[in-house]
Amino acid sequence: MSILIDIHLHTEKHSECSRIDASKLVERAVKAGLHGVIITEHHYQWSLDELEELNAEAREPGFLLLAGFEYSARQGDILVYGLEAVQSERFAPGEDAREVLSAFQGDGALCVAAHPTRAGLSYDENIGELGFDALEVRSVNLKPHEQRLAAGLATTLGLPALAASDAHRLEDVGAHALSFDAPIQSMADFLRAVREGRCQPVTRNA
Ligand SMILES: [Zn+2]
Ligand SMILES: [Zn+2]
């Protein structure tokens, strides 16, 4: 059985732009067929206490609830996974992506270019020099031609192509996700699977 995880979404708890009520997130994710989610608020990472509390309220044993964060660099947005929550406050928004990436990766983070080809929010042609670990190539915020461009870019750069919803509305949770062929039970499992290329982008027709 494949494991489905949505690795990029926002809740209204810590992202002003989102309308997702965190208390409804897990129920919705389970209905969408997901086995886990990674909450990635803008410039904020949920603490372990917050995650534990939400998980306890949700009463979905076995559901994987993790957090990373989304950092807005001068050149574009970066999804950061595998750091302690306090690191989400390390840089003010708008710093140079190269500097931020090397600092976070130096501490062991996996850094993914969010919606790299999104109109108005895309990286320029120097994206390959920034040192990303992977590219997001599908989300509800990438139009079909932007998804094709992003997939081509991932192939050109030789980077893993990831999919996630980038949901800001409950109905979008799980619209795109990553499929894993082995259990993912922790952030460490997730990081290892992506680094080893053991995941596949999945888009759901709902
Ligand atoms: Zn947002
Ligand atoms: Zn986002």
pLDDT at residue 15, as a whole number: 97
The overall pTM is greater than 0.85: yes
Amino acid at position 157, single letter: L
Name the DSSP letter for residue 172. Answer: G
- For residue 171, the CA-to-ligand 2 centroid distance in Å is 15
Per-residue pLDDT band at 119 (split at 50, 70, 90) = confident
Ligand 2 mean position, distance from CA 165 (Å): 9
Q: Is a pLDDT exceeding 80 seen at residue 206?
A: no
CB burial of 48-58 (b: ≥16 within 10 Å; e: otherwise) equals: eebbeebeeeb
144 Cβ neighbours under 8 A, 6+ residues apart: none
Q: Which are the contacts of 1, defined by CB distance < 8 A and separation ≥ 6?
A: none
| Ligand (nearest to CA of 69) | 2
Burial of 42 (0-12, 13-18, 19+ CB in 10 A): middle
Per the CB < 8 A criterion, the answer to whether 25 and 54 are in contact is: yes
Q: In the predicted model, what is the mean pLDDT of residues 181-200?
A: 96
Strand partners, 202: 177
Span 55-74, mean pLDDT? 96
Nearest ligand (C-alpha, residue 9): 2
Contacts of the segment 147-154: beta carbons below 8 A, 24+ positions apart: 147/117, 149/117, 150/115, 150/116, 150/117, 153/116, 153/117, 153/127
pLDDT of residue 205: 66
All structural domains of the chain, each given as residue ranges with its CATH number in brackets, are 3-203 (3.20.20.140)
For residue 79, the CA-to-ligand 2 centroid distance in Å is: 8
Q: Is the pLDDT of residue 22 over 80?
A: yes
Q: Could you give the CA distance from residue 1 to residue 148 in angstroms, rounded to a whole number?
A: 28
- Which ligand is located closest to the Cα atom of residue 40? 2
Q: Which element (helix H / strand E) includes 148?
A: helix 144-157
User: Token digits for 122?
Assistant: 């895309």
**Strand order from edge to edge, sheet including 77-81:** 161-163, 134-138, 110-113, 77-81, 64-72, 36-42, 3-9, 176-180, 200-203
Ligand lying closest to the C-alpha of residue 165: 2
